[in-house]
Amino acid sequence: MIYIGNFLHVTNQQENVEENRRHGGFNLIVEAENYEEATEKFKTQILKIRGNSEFFDGECSIFFTQLFEFDTIPKNEAIMINYKSIAGDPIMPFIGCSVPTNSSDGCKIYNWQENVPEIEGKNEKVFMQFNG
């Protein structure tokens, strides 16, 4: 199976100046036998990225917000996986749609409350966390 994980992150949270802190999102893709194996491969890759780059510097929390499982990838037509629409300044909530189609847009409202992502009014749980 092919698994695509969608993640949100906050990094450099130890910084006193807000402009030096970061937040954002990323996706990982892997082929695995099942969800558990894919999740372990995601964790391994995040650790590798943290060790080899500045992407997840300092105090960092990563939230695993979504998992797509595909047995095949379409050959004749591309499919949209993640669509994001942001209103106003970066502090504002945004609307994200996963695998939107003509019959369903699958949109959700994303917000940040005290450095924890909130999706459709529910706080997400930390997937991985690093100190300094």
CA angle 127, 115, 57 (to 5 degrees): 65
Is the model's pLDDT at 71 over the cut of 90?
Answer: yes
73-128 per-position pLDDT tens digit: 889 998 888 777 666 555 667 777 766 566 666 677 778 777 787 877 888 888 88
Q: Which of 23, 26, 91 is CA-nearest to residue 58? A: 23
23-44 per-position pLDDT tens digit: 888 899 999 999 999 999 999 9
Give the strand pairing for 107-113 and 60-70: unpaired
Phi, psi of 18 (to 5 degrees): -55, -35
The single residue listed with the structure tokens 């695998």 is 99
Is the model's pLDDT at 15 over the cut of 90?
Answer: no
Q: Tell me the percentage of the chain whose pLDDT exceeds 90.
A: 30
